[in-house]
Amino acid sequence: EVQLVESGGGLVQPGGSLRLSCAASGFTFSTYWMSWVRQAPGKGLEWVANIKQDGSEIYYVDSVKGRFTISRDNAKNSLYLQMNSLRAEDTAVYYCARDPYAFDVWGQGTMVTVSS
Amino acid sequence: QSVLTQPPSASGTPGQRVTISCSGSSSNIGANIVNWYQQLPGTAPKLLIYSNNERPSGVPDRFSGSKSGTSASLAISGLQSEDEADYYCAAWDDSLNGWVFGGGTKLTVL
């Protein structure tokens, strides 16, 4: 079964850091672009970042540039999102998604709350 | 303010046909494919339509997509109560170098 499972969310103070992980199974992880997509409480979807199969191309939404870093470890079938200098507006459910031409597989999401 | 524009709400009665619009620009919808996602309450989004008008395996043919110029539409025919959900359009934006979403449309089945 094709599956994505996120972990690492939680409560963090403004200015703090958090690292999200996404474990992939049931498909050849190393052959797909991967993305992070977030959804603030009661709001719509917002794409955050994506990364090419070998990590040679990476893109970010402007609001996280310089603060978030997407990475992957193909040997571990894992995707990561290092989030630094967190702000209240980063509070959201973070989903990892397989990203060939569309987000065709989604994880269940992990909640990140930035609050003092 | 979302880059792609969708109506915030839509509604219909069981059996009816409803359409949801998605308006963009030459750098996103005008240049690239459009995908649609369905998000049932409390769940992760699900791919509903890809490449403007293709349905993934398992998606009923009641759902269809179209694109013309810088706009796209999702049509749902034979509306059912289980179609009540939020629907999002998305496209790659060549100017922003990123995926952009519509603000989402909440579909209510009356």
B72-86 pLDDT, tens digit each: 999 999 999 999 999
pLDDT tens for each residue of B27-51: 999 999 999 999 999 999 999 999 9
Which DSSP category does A15 fall into?
Answer: T
Q: Tell me whether residues B50 and A108 touch, CB distance under 8 A.
A: no
> Does the pLDDT at position B59 exceed 90?
yes
A9 touches chain B (CB under 8 A): no
Q: Taking the C-alpha atoms of A87, B102, A45 and A116 in order, what is their torsion angle to the nearest 10 degrees?
A: 20
Measure CB to CB from residue A44 to each of B2, B97, B98 and give the nearest one. Answer: B2
Tokens of B46: 């699900």
What's the rounded Cα separation, in Å, for the pair A59 and A50? Answer: 5
Are the C-beta atoms of residues A63 and A116 closer than 8 Å to each other?
no
Label residue A55 left, alpha or beta by phi (over 0 means left) and psi (-120 to 50 means alpha).
Answer: left
pLDDT tens for each residue of B80-106: 999 999 999 999 999 999 999 999 999
Give the pairing of strands B105-109 and B46-49.
unpaired
B20/chain A closest Cα distance in angstroms: 16
pLDDT tens for each residue of B1-24: 899 999 999 999 999 999 999 999
> Does the pLDDT at position B25 exceed 90?
yes
pLDDT on residue B1: 86
Are the C-beta atoms of residues A102 and B50 closer than 8 Å to each other?
yes
B76/chain A closest Cα distance in angstroms: 20
Closest CA to A92 of A69, A60, A115, A67: A115
Tell me the chain B residues in contact with residue A102 when contact means C-beta distances shorter than 8 Å. 33, 35, 47, 50-51, 90
What's the rounded Cα separation, in Å, for the pair B78 and A13? Answer: 48
Label residue A101 left, alpha or beta by phi (over 0 means left) and psi (-120 to 50 means alpha).
Answer: alpha
* End-to-end Cα spacing for chain B: 28
Closest chain B residue to the Cα of A46, Cα to Cα: B101
What's the rounded Cα separation, in Å, for the pair A106 and A95? Answer: 7
Query: At A7, is the secondary structure helix, strand, or coil?
Result: strand
What's the rounded Cα separation, in Å, for the pair A24 and A106? Answer: 10
Q: Tell me whether residues A101 and B33 touch, CB distance under 8 A.
A: yes
pLDDT on residue B86: 98
pLDDT in tens, chain A (116 residues): 999 999 999 999 999 999 999 999 999 999 999 999 999 999 999 999 999 999 999 999 999 999 999 999 999 999 999 999 999 999 999 999 999 899 999 999 999 999 99
